[in-house]
Amino acid sequence: MHLENLEQFLSPKQWFQSGHGPRYRQLSRYLQTAITDGTLTAGTQIPPERDIAKFANVSRVTVRNAMSKLIQENLIAQKQGSGSYVRELPAEHRLEQSLSSLTSFTEYMEQRGFSSSSIVLSHGIHRPTPNEMLILGLSPQEKVARVQRLRSADNTPLALETSSLPVDILPNTASVDISLYKVLRASGNAPVRAIQRINANNVSAQHAELLQVTKGTAVLQIDRTAYLDTGRPIELTSGFYRSDVYEFVAELRLEKHD
């Protein structure tokens, strides 16, 4: 990192928003994003504390606190006598999810040994949007059950999901607290097949706050349509997934030609 860019890179304009938590947390989150999105690559030397404090316009204690958070998260390492540098992105910062199996968020996190949690941001029965009508095969007179959740693993927010289902499949949206698929399974409506569309997107200010990333950070937008074994579409989930922690992996095979 060159000093001439450092002033601009660390300018409070880049990382500080009043009312968004303590400075050290906002600074460490900003640097964390810069490391996980590749702006600061492995091996980059972290400038001396006094330079960071000067350009970021914060006290040295704030810098120290921000740095210890990054050290704790294994993102930077301290070398005796030669300062700190960016480490190779540790495996625990990326969650590899197979694209070929139909797992739920809760199951997937359990398999990985994380404790998952969800905050229900909103839920209720609504008039369907044109997209919901089209995908779920609903008429304008029918209603749709909608649940929006912020999903976390080990208390780190990872995904923001809005799920829409026909009301006969999910009559009570309040029943979805931990796992939607558990509720569906209990009523014999578990999906057996799904189609996912993945897009890159830049997170909006509102979503950035919920996901605890900087506004504009690249996230994966994944829309899943899931089907019963009868072929009926019963779930449309549109989610934003943190690209610094999520990695979706698809296995490809050569098609056999006779």
Pick from 95, 180, 213, 219 the residue near ligand 16G by CB under 6 A: 180
CB nearer to ligand 16G: give 29 or 151: 151
Q: How many other C-beta atoms lie within 10 A of the C-beta of residue 84?
A: 18
Q: Does 160 bind ligand 16G (CB under 6 A)?
A: no
Least Å distance, CB 116 to ligand 16G, is 7
Q: Does 240 bind ligand 16G (CB under 6 A)?
A: no
Q: Does 26 bind ligand 16G (CB under 6 A)?
A: no
Q: Does 222 bind ligand 16G (CB under 6 A)?
A: yes
CB 244 within 8 A of CB 93: yes
Q: Does 243 bind ligand 16G (CB under 6 A)?
A: no
Radius of gyration of the chain (CA): 22
User: Of residues 78-137, which lie at the interface with ligand 16G (CB under 6 A)?
Assistant: 104-106
Q: Which of 88, 97, 55 is nearest to 247 (CA)?
A: 97
The continuous run of DSSP H or E covering 106 comes out as helix 105-111
Tokens read off for 186: 């209990």
CB 167 within 8 A of CB 160: no
Least Å distance, CB 243 to ligand 16G, is 13
Q: How many other C-beta atoms lie within 10 A of the C-beta of residue 163?
A: 21
Binding range to ligand 16G, per CB under 6 A, among 45-53, 76-84, 164-172, 175-183? 175-183
Binding range to ligand 16G, per CB under 6 A, among 20-28, 52-60, 129-137, 174-182? 174-182
CB nearer to ligand 16G: give 30 or 105: 105
Q: Does 224 bind ligand 16G (CB under 6 A)?
A: yes
Q: Does 162 bind ligand 16G (CB under 6 A)?
A: no
Least Å distance, CB 83 to ligand 16G, is 40
Binding range to ligand 16G, per CB under 6 A, among 5-13, 48-56, 74-82, 178-186? 178-186
CA dihedral (194, 199, 200, 206) in degrees, to 10, reads -70
Q: Which of 175, 164, 170 is nearest to 136 (CA)?
A: 164
Beta-sheet pairing, 193-202 with 156-166:
unpaired
Residues in the chain: 258
Count of residues that interact with ligand 16G, criterion CB under 6 A: 14
Q: Does 15 bind ligand 16G (CB under 6 A)?
A: no
Q: How many other C-beta atoms lie within 10 A of the C-beta of residue 26?
A: 22
> Helices 49-56 and 3-10 meet at what angle, rounded to 10?
50
Positions in the binding site for ligand 16G (CB under 6 A): 104-106, 161, 163, 179-182, 196, 222, 224, 237, 239
